[in-house]
Structure formats: structure tokens, C-alpha cells
Amino acid sequence: MEHVSDGHDVATLAGGCFWCLEAVYQRIEGVLSVTSGYAGGTTPNPTYEEVCTGETAHAEAIQVAFDPALISYEEILDIFWQAHDPTTLNRQGPDAGTQYRSVIFWKGDSQRDVAEASRKKAQGKLKEPIVTQLLPLEQFWPAEDYHQNYYNSHQSAGYCRMVISPKLKKLKLE
């Protein structure tokens, strides 16, 4: 599933377009790598075009490899709640469809317990109900190469300027 050396952990998150979350986590101290991909669906090794149909049940997701000595899983999730709107079902900004749903894919009882506590804490700060799903991670499929490191490679593209850059500024990451 993931290729992380000893001493590192992995978080798998979905919160709208994977380019947005990827750009956020690439700027966080303690994050070692971010991979855009797909999770939560039924189609093995899906393509972007297949996921966009909404028929694979996959969400656009990221896998964040991080050093738990520098940043905790709880802190990774604290950023997640700020980096997207967890109260909007199947939509983030201009992106709509089940592939843009909000999900924390947990791995093991410890991550599940932290995710449940984190969602409860985040809900206490919001007026609208959180719709973020908490699901066991069954499989993560990396997206095509052209989706990786997207914002850093395409900062002048319209979506990057209009959607990702303002998000990074709001989070004080740019």
C-alpha cells in the first residue's frame, strides 16, 4: 500500500481536489512526501477519467508520509479540518461529485480512535454538521504522474491561481 521507511507514518485523506490538499501538506514541517491518488472505491487501479465519472466510488485522496517525531497524526488531522470545508457533502469550491467527498481513511485502531476524537473536536468549532466519513483504508491507488506535485509545477494555471493559492494564503502557507 504505502512505501514508508521505519519510523514514519502515513495518513490518507480526502477533502476535495487532491491538488489542493497536496499543496497544503507539502508545506508542512514534518511531512516527508505527499502522493495524490484514489481511495474508497471499488475499481482496481482506477484512472482519473474513470474516477471523474463518479462510478468507481473512489475519492480523490492523498497519502501523507510524515515523521511522528516532528508532527503527530492529530496535528495532521487538525490541518485537514482547516484545509477544506468538512460540512459540505460531495463538494469543495468549484468541484462537485462523490469523488470530492471528505474522508479520513484510517489505518489501525489507533488512527481510527484519533480520527474520531479529532472529528468530535472539530465539530465543536463549527455550526454546521461535519459530513466527513471515517473509513478503514483498504487500498490507495496513486494517481497518474501528471497529477503529482501539481501546484508546484503549475502555479500559473488558472485553477492553481484561483483555488489553491488563496487556500495556501488563508492557511498562511504561502
Any domain includes 50: yes
Any domain includes 3: no
Beta-bridge partner residues of 12? 63, 105
Q: Transcribe 74-106 into DSSP letters.
A: HHHHHHHHHHS-TTSTTEETTEESGGG-EEEEE
Any domain includes 4: no
Any domain includes 2: no
Q: Whole domain around residue 106: which residue ranges?
A: 9-170
Alpha-carbon distance of 174 to 169, in angstroms, equals 5
pLDDT of residue 4 exceeding 70, the answer is no
Q: Residues 71-108: pLDDT tens digits? A: 999 999 999 999 999 999 999 988 999 999 999 999 99
Domain count, the chain: 1
* Residue whose C-alpha is closest to residue 37's, from 10, 8, 72: 10
Any domain includes 99: yes
Give the pLDDT score at 7: 77
Any domain includes 65: yes
Burial class (CB in 10 A: 0-12, 13-18, 19+), 124: exposed
SS3 144: coil
Alpha-carbon distance of 151 to 159, in angstroms, equals 9
Any domain includes 26: yes
**What DSSP element (H or E) covers 33?**
strand 31-39
CATH number at 67 reads 3.30.1060.10
Any domain includes 1: no
pLDDT band at 1 (very low <50, low <70, confident <90, very high): very low
What positions carry a catalytic annotation? 17
User: Quick one: what percent of the chain has pLDDT higher than 70?
Assistant: 97
Alpha-carbon distance of 65 to 1, in angstroms, equals 12
8 with 65: CB under 8 angstroms?
yes
Q: What's the mean pLDDT when you consider all of the chain?
A: 95
Give the pLDDT score at 141: 98
